Amino acid sequence: MKRLFRVLIVLLAIVRLIGWQLERFINMVDRTQPLPEPSDKAKAFHQANFIADVHNDTLLFERNFLNSPQIGKPMGHIDLPRAEAASVNLLVFAAATKIPLGFHESGTDETQPDSLNLVYGSRFSPQTFMTPLQRAIHQSKRLHSLAGQSHGRMHVVRNQQDLERAKSGESLGAVLAFEGAQAVGGDVANIDRIFEIGYRVAGYCHFIDNAYACSKHGTKRAGLPPAGRELTQRCVNLGMVLDLAHLSAAGVEDVLKLTTDVPLLVSHTGLKSWVNNNRTIIDEQAQEIARRGGLIGIGFWDEVLRGNSPEDVVDGIQHAIEVLGENHVCFGSDFDGAILPSFDISQLPVLTHLMFERGMSETTVQKIAGGNALRLFKSVLPLT
């Protein structure tokens, strides 16, 4: 019995170690490609201008965001010291609350077991057996706790006053988003509670269909059901940004019909005319979103680009500008989202450097690097 107990203890220790180290294999950086050295102009630009990235999945991983785990070889793509190194003003933190095993861009069955139970279980996390709504609440508490422990280096953005604080450069602004409306739970009225605890971006879908919307990676690919239409209106009334990333094409059409005067966001994607797959958005839908003052966040990974280098990212951005105009494109990295970029957030000045090298004006780069995102959040978030 004692021997069995010792074996069990060892197995649990191994599981726990694997759980904490899992991200080293999921959120790696491809260091095989040499990066250009950012010019002094690019570095000065970051210090003088508003810099924003409108999507990351960092909250999925329970490492300490406030510190780089290992100097020289940090874990993941984002943490506070690296964001500060690039003079980033605003980040959007997505709360993913359910990801079925075997999920795939081409189609995912929502009835499959939840892979997050395994991820959180390997770390003995309290999130292991939580519902999506409980996970959304937990992740909100965690982000607020990180902000409280940061000694003023980071704050949660709930309104335009908080946005101005981020703009000043005094503190990194952190915006909470839910990725998949299953986070709302079975009662659409829960959106009021979600808003109250700090969520300001409403993502209809992730990889699965839910009671409010159908994912482009789900099994139905249908438009919004009545509950989704009601959720849309409630979010607009509260002052939440609507994020159409992962939403089915039919769902996008329904949102466009319901929100004729609301600027919309597609936080992390690319254009089908650049890369034609199930992670990119139809050009005509993106153009309609742009026509209404909305934004398309260009992702930093090869499925929405034609490679994973900084040059590939700038290629995708340039194409989006040609199709949509410079007022409707922004950074939408998907950092810490199981992607393999060739740089992390501390190296964002490399993108700025390359945009200047391509002949983009300072005004254009200001818009792409953060000005457009600032405009959208200012137009939607409540004043106080």
Among 76, 198, 184, 192, which residue's Cα sits nearest to residue 147? 198
Distance of CA 29 to the CA centre of its chain: 17
What is the distance between the alpha carbons of residues 278 and 280, in angstroms, rounded to a whole number? Answer: 6
pLDDT for 115 equals 81
Strand-strand pairing, 329-331 and 241-243: unpaired
Which 3-state string (H, E, C) describes the chain?
A: CHHHHHHHHHHHHHHHHHHHHCHHHHCCCCCCCCCCCCCHHHHHHHHHCCCEEEEECHHHCCCCCCCCCCCCCCCCCCCHHHHHHCCCCEEEEEEECCCECCCCCCCCCCCCCEHHHHHHHCCCCHHHHCCHHHHHHHHHHHHHHHHHHCCCCEEECCCHHHHHHHHCCCCEEEEEEEECHHHHCCCCCHHHHHHHCCEEEEECCCCCCCCCCCECCCCCCCCCCHHHHHHHHHHHHHCCEEECCCECHHHHHHHHHHCCCCCCEEEEECECCCCCCCCCECHHHHHHHHHCCCEEEECCCCCCCCCCCHHHHHHHHHHHHHHHCHHHEEECCCECCCCCCCCCHHHHHHHHHHHHHCCCCHHHHHHHHHHHHHHHHHHHCCCC
For 170-201, the pLDDT digits (tens) are 999 999 999 999 999 999 999 999 999 999 99
Distance of CA 338 to the CA centre of its chain: 12
Residue whose tokens read 């094409």? 249
What letters, b where the CB count within 10 A reaches 16 and e where it falls short, cover 220-248?
eeebbbebbbebbebbbebbbbbbbbbbb
**Neighbouring C-alpha atoms within 13 Å toward the C-beta of 217:** 22
Going from the C-alpha of 207 to that of each of 86, 187, 248, 373, the distances in angstroms are 31, 21, 10, 25
Phi then psi dihedrals of residue 316, to 5 deg: -65, -40
Integer-rounded Cα Rg, in Å, for the chain is: 20
Q: List Cβ neighbours of 120 (8 Å cut-off, separation of 6 or more).
A: 126, 127, 128
Q: List Cβ neighbours of 37 (8 Å cut-off, separation of 6 or more).
A: 353
| CATH numbers and ranges of domains, the chain | 2-380 (3.20.20.140)
Assigned token pair, 60? 């999925």
| Beta-carbon count within 10 A of 187 CB | 12
Distance of CA 131 to the CA centre of its chain: 21
Question: How do the pLDDT tens digits run along the chain, 384 residues long?
Answer: 434 334 433 433 444 445 556 677 789 999 998 999 999 999 999 999 999 999 999 998 878 899 875 545 668 999 999 999 999 999 999 999 998 887 777 777 777 888 888 777 766 577 778 899 999 999 999 999 999 999 999 999 999 999 999 999 999 999 999 999 999 999 999 999 999 999 999 999 999 999 999 999 988 899 999 999 999 999 999 999 999 999 999 999 999 999 999 999 999 999 999 999 999 999 999 999 999 999 999 999 999 999 999 999 999 999 999 999 999 999 999 999 999 999 999 999 999 999 999 999 999 999 999 999 999 999 999 999
What is the distance between the alpha carbons of residues 86 and 221, in angstroms, rounded to a whole number? Answer: 39
Burial of 10 (0-12, 13-18, 19+ CB in 10 A): exposed
What is the distance between the alpha carbons of residues 73 and 23, in angstroms, rounded to a whole number? Answer: 13
